[in-house]
Amino acid sequence: MNEEDTIAGGRDGPTPLDQEQAAADLDQSVADREQALADVDQAAIERNQADLADERESANPGDFASSVKFTQRQADLDYCQARSDARQDQIDQAQAGGDQRQELLDDQQRARERPRASAPLSARVLEAETQVRGRDAARRAKNARHRAQQALRRAEAAELRAQALLGRR
Amino acid sequence: MRAPSAGAAAEVAKGDVVPAGGSHQRSVLDLLDEGVIVLDTRGRLLQANDAASLILGFNPETDLVAWGAYREQAGPDSWPAVLRTGHAIRDTPLEVDRPDGTRVALLLSCSPLRDPEGAISGFVQSFRDVTGQADEHRRLAATEDRLREAHEVARLSSWEWAPDTGVVSIFHALSGEKSSPGARATLDELLEATPPEERQGTRDDLEGMVRGESDGSVRRSRREYAAGSAWLETRTRAVRDGDGRLLCVRGTTQDVTEQELSRRETVHARDFFQATLDSLAAHIAVLDDDGEILLTNRAWADFADANGSRPIGLGENYLAACDAAVGDEPATRAAAGLRAILSGSEAEFSMEYPRHSPTVDRWFALRVARFDGHGDARVVVSHEDMTERHRAEDQVAMQAALLDEVDVAVIATDGEGLVTHWNQGAERLHGWTFAEVVGKNAVELVSPPGAGEAEDFSGDLRREGQRRGEFTARRKDGSTFPAFVQGRLMGDGRSRGAIWVLVDISERVASERALVAAGNFMRAIADSMGEGLFTIDTEGRLIYMNDAGADLLGWTSADLLGRVMAPVIHSRLPDGPDLAFADCPIMRARRDRRTVRVDDDVFTHRDGGLIPVAYTASPFETDEGIEGCVVVFKDIAERKAQEERLKLEAGTLAWIGRIRSALAEDRFVLHAQPIVELRTGEVVQHELLLRMREADGELVGPAAFLGVAEEYGLIGDIDRWVIGRGAEIAATGLPVQINLSAHSIGDQSVLSHIERSIEQCGAEPSHIVFEITETAIVADAQAARVFAERLRSIGCRLALDDFGTGYGGFTYLKQLPVDCLKIDIEFVRDLATNLSSRHVVEAVVALARGFKLQTVAEGVEDAGTLELLGELGVDLAQGYHIARPGPLEPRDPPTRGGTTRE
């Protein structure tokens, strides 16, 4: 087999590993899109919360009707935030699963590439691809840590909202 | 013949040198009445005549001691002065003491003796005894002084005007006057000292006296001096001879400032006294010892008898007037009292008497008092209208009688807190009689032993002047009762007493307790209810809400108490009536005073959610006049949900019938939407889309009935119909894509039906692509794999519909013989604007290539998206931008732009 064959896959086209990677890439792209949509929703929730806080501050404290509307809007925002948090938790879990899957694929890919490492050109290409995979893995790890921190923040915020609701009662 | 004077002897001695000594000279000297002493230049005695011895009381020639004393008394004013000046001195007054102790007044003269050369050789002293004249002078001077002093004391100036000469002789002038005693002035000069406004009057007076028209005048005027002003009174008197001829006019001007001021003070005091009397409402008259009226006030002057008789006034005798009122008992008593005062047997007398008119009863009080001060004694008589006081007293008596009739204790205490008044109400409430409590400490009587309430009340009363409140009172038998007391301090200074009004409030306390108990009982009932209950006032403000109501609405009572409930109970639905809160059913119930029942309304939960409720609103009004509305409500969400379910079920059942009918009557139709190849732009396939034609010909989309069909097992029949019809269409040579439900994936009979239909129609299997959703495959991967493999064996193709919307994990593609991935519209619609969607499409394309699959983009709605899909490598595309689904005749291939009603 020549280097092109070994690099570009078998003569029969994409290998199962390639197909698996393609599926994983599609999963990741869908997950990224889900995350982007979730981020837009979260930004909207935070914007609405800030607007509500501003309106509350400038409202007449003795106006009961306004107080009722603010309470109801806050309840609605709390509900939206809870849904957003749950959705984000799902996205995070899916991402964690996808990261694990990618790790597995990376391992399989490395195992597949090891025999080809002796060829100079293949070695350079493989080295580059390894570095890319390494950077991707580091990025995934960093993102996982960020997701964990955000999950903790969301949990704390949810706890505060629950306490506030109890306090209002 | 008169003896020659010493002055003559001195005149002789002056011009001629007369040697000392000589009997002739001595004999001459002894003839003189004046004492003569001749001295040498050293003042030594040379000679003294008999008169000198007589006058001095000693013989200067022999009594050297007396002579020495005389020389000392004569002093340097005698011969030493002459020696010094060289001139004689004349009639120098001198007083010397005689040896016998008497004093003699002398007029001393001293002349120098000169020798022929003119040098002084000696002196001659001569002196006269003027002791008698001095005494006379002193008497005159004293008299003058006394006269002057009298003038000064009397502030008097005196003058005399002689009309024939026109000269005015000033005898005495007041200090500050321009004239001085002894001065003479003309009449004009005298008048010049008179104030200008009086000059003419004074001149007229004098001229009148001259003409005999008057013999005197008196004028008083005010003059201004540098030191101030003074009042002067000028009196003139004409002095006439026996024939009445005017000899002179004597006048005196006296400073009467003090008198004038005193007079003015007297007048002012009198006016003030009169004004004071006039200010009094009582009718006051001042009488003398005989009963004659000297002074009255305005009220007396305006006083009229009830019968309209004339009031007696100044100068009339009040006592006589009383005596004259025969038959008038009050007048008779008044006269007797006045006589007692006038006689001095009584100092004061008073009585009250009626003077009723035909229309009104009036009462008066007569007071007579005597006062003795400077001057004559006086009697003051005053009549005061006591009608109002009598009425007030009658009213107080009536109120006291009323208080005695009701159970209200009225207790009065003195400054020490000892009882001074204890009415019948107090006797009934506490049990003690007035005799038992008078003089005792009120606090100790009415408060239980050891209780501090009454002491607190007393303390507050002393500090604030009044106090009211509730406390526990005590009866004589030791029992207690709740009382309301109000106390107020009366009087002032150290004699402040207090008056207390006390009411037994046992019934009120019992009522309040019963009310509280009833309230607690009602509250317990309300809180045990499952329904919500709240009460609002006339403004819609919350008065009370039970626990169930708080739970249902999400608000606590504390949140809503006192708040207008409109935001909670007056929820407006977008399609509901636009009513003001005052017109909502609950408020109308209170306003119209009738119970209202509403079976379907909406309240708003605290979180903003709408709560479907049914309620009853009933108006109420308490004994205290509190109005409002009681609302009992319950959440009917479950009921409404059940109603919706029933409605849905009914609808569903209806749909089942309609689907069955459509199947039986072959009223399903297939519309086709073209699918183009992006590389060539040619239509390469058509997706067949199911519609149901209603009996009335209306087309209904699959979303309305497919769910019911799947739930109630009709979907298989529908799939079979679609398969059969699709095969027919494919048999015409038109490649088609047919949608199959998830149910059909696991149904082996469907596969058989596919085979049969294709065979019966003679369709090319490769022209038929069956679409199944990614979700259906994931739900039963095993069945999906079997189904796909069977289709592959038939020769048909399989497309995954709505690809990318699953829950991730596309590894099933490795085992599933899929031919096409149809990218869901979700990723295609915002492809041009959402980078994430673009990444997904790229990944789908890459995945499809990895598995050698075709990609179809669904929902292309614009040219930009179509172009971008081509750039990304998508194979096929469909959407409204390309063509809408439309009816498809079996033998007519569909064209672009075909439309149908969706």
Q: How confident is the model at residue B493 (pLDDT cuts 50, 70, 90)?
A: low
Highest mean pLDDT, choosing among A96-105, B189-198, B388-397? A96-105
The residues, ordered by sequence, that sit 6+ positions from A156 with a Cβ below 8 Å of its Cβ are: none
- Asked whether the beta carbons of residue A29 and residue B840 sit closer than 8 angstroms, the reply is yes
Q: Which CATH class is domain B6-129?
A: alpha beta
pLDDT tens sequence across B311-354: 788 889 999 999 998 888 999 999 999 999 988 898 899 999 98
Q: From the list B804, B813, B851, which residue is nearest A30 (CB)?
A: B804
For chain B, where do the domains classified as CATH 3.30.450.20 start and end?
6-129, 142-261, 280-389, 406-504, 513-635
- pLDDT for B340: 92
Contact of B430 with B409, CB cutoff 8 Å: yes
CA distance A65 to chain B (A): 6
Give dist(CA B245, CA B719) in Å, integer. Answer: 173
Q: B542, B560, B603, B810: best mutation site toward chain A, by most A Cβ within 10 Å?
A: B810
Give dist(CA B728, CA B745) in Å, integer. Answer: 21
- B592 or B754: which leads in pLDDT: B754
Cα first-last separation, chain A: 75
Q: From the list A23, A65, A75, which residue is nearest B567 (CB)?
A: A65
Could you tell me the CA-to-CA distances from B202 to B24, B238, B247, B252 in Å, in that order? 70, 13, 18, 13
CA distance B884 to chain A (A): 28
- Asked whether the beta carbons of residue A23 and residue B847 sit closer than 8 angstroms, the reply is yes
- pLDDT for A43: 93
Tell me the mean pLDDT in the region A137-154: 84
- pLDDT for B686: 94
CA distance A120 to chain B (A): 28
Highest mean pLDDT, choosing among B508-517, B710-719, B772-781, B865-874? B865-874
Q: Which pTM does this prediction carry?
A: 0.51
Query: In this structure, are strands B466-474 and B768-773 parallel, antiparallel, or unpaired?
Result: unpaired
CATH topology of domain B406-504: Beta-Lactamase (3.30.450)
What DSSP assignment string belongs to B501-556?
Answer: EEEE-HHHHHHHHHHHHHHHHHHHHHHH-SSEEEEEETTSBEEEE-HHHHHHHS--
- pLDDT for A49: 93
Residue of A nearest to B834 (CA): A33
pLDDT tens sequence across B746-791: 888 899 999 999 999 999 999 999 999 888 877 788 888 889 899 9
- B732 or B227: which leads in pLDDT: B732
Which residues in chain A have their CB less than 8 angstroms from residue B839's CB? 29, 32-33
- pLDDT for B519: 79
Which residues in chain B have their CB less than 8 angstroms from residue A78's CB? 607
- pLDDT for B360: 86
Give dist(CA B583, CA B346) in Å, integer. Answer: 87
| CATH assignment, B280-389 | 3.30.450.20
- pLDDT for A69: 87
Q: From the list A33, A37, A169, which residue is nearest B839 (CB)?
A: A33
Q: Between helices B748-761 and B781-794, what is the axis angle to 10°?
A: 20
pLDDT at B731 over 90: yes
- Average pLDDT score over chain A: 82
- pLDDT for A116: 61
pLDDT at B678 over 90: yes
Q: Between helices B715-731 and B748-761, what is the axis angle to 10°?
A: 30
Tell me the mean pLDDT in the region B441-455: 81
- pLDDT for B17: 34
Contact of B83 with B120, CB cutoff 8 Å: yes
Contact of B371 with B330, CB cutoff 8 Å: no
Could you tell me the CA-to-CA distances from B143 to B175, B343, B454, B722 in Å, in that order? 20, 51, 88, 170
Q: How confident is the model at residue B199 (pLDDT cuts 50, 70, 90)?
A: confident
Contact of B411 with B502, CB cutoff 8 Å: yes
The answer to ipTM > 0.90 is no
Q: How confident is the model at residue B895 (pLDDT cuts 50, 70, 90)?
A: very low
pLDDT at B61 over 80: yes
Nearest residue to B847 via CA among B866, B830, B872: B872
| CATH assignment, B513-635 | 3.30.450.20
Helix (H) or strand (E) holding B199: helix B196-210
Query: In this structure, are strands B103-114 and B408-413 parallel, antiparallel, or unpaired?
Result: unpaired
Which residues in chain B have their CB less than 8 angstroms from residue A73's CB? 608
Q: From the list B568, B836, B850, which residue is nearest A22 (CB)?
A: B850
- Asked whether the beta carbons of residue A22 and residue B843 sit closer than 8 angstroms, the reply is yes
- pLDDT for B664: 92
- pLDDT for A119: 63
- pLDDT for B703: 92
- pLDDT for B407: 80
If you count residue pairs, one on A and one on B, with CB atoms under 8 Å apart, how many are there? 100
Which residues in chain B have their CB less than 8 angstroms from residue A16's CB? 814
Query: Of all residues in chain B, what percent carry a pLDDT higher than 70?
Result: 88
Could you tell me the CA-to-CA distances from B495 to B413, B414, B416, B456, B492 in Å, in that order? 11, 7, 9, 21, 6
In degrees and rounded to multiples of 5, residue B836 shows phi and psi of -65, -40
| CATH assignment, B142-261 | 3.30.450.20
CA distance B618 to chain A (A): 24
pLDDT tens sequence across B86-103: 888 888 888 899 999 999
- pLDDT for B225: 75
The residues, ordered by sequence, that sit 6+ positions from B811 with a Cβ below 8 Å of its Cβ are: A20, A23
In degrees and rounded to multiples of 5, residue B87 shows phi and psi of -115, 155
Q: B541, B561, B811: best mutation site toward chain A, by most A Cβ within 10 Å?
A: B811
Q: From the list A26, A69, A168, which residue is nearest B810 (CB)?
A: A26
Which residues in chain A have their CB less than 8 angstroms from residue B851's CB? 14, 19, 22
Give dist(CA B445, CA B301) in Å, integer. Answer: 56
Could you tell me the CA-to-CA distances from B200 to A11, B256, B331 in Å, in that order? 163, 21, 59
Contact of B843 with A25, CB cutoff 8 Å: yes
- Tokens 């009339």: give the residue: B316
For residue B670, list its beta bridge partners: B690
For A126-139, b/e burial (b = at least 16 CB within 10 A) is beeebeebeeeeee
Contact of B200 with B219, CB cutoff 8 Å: no
Report whether CATH 3.20.20.450 matches the domain B653-887. Answer: yes
Tell me the mean pLDDT in the region B223-236: 82
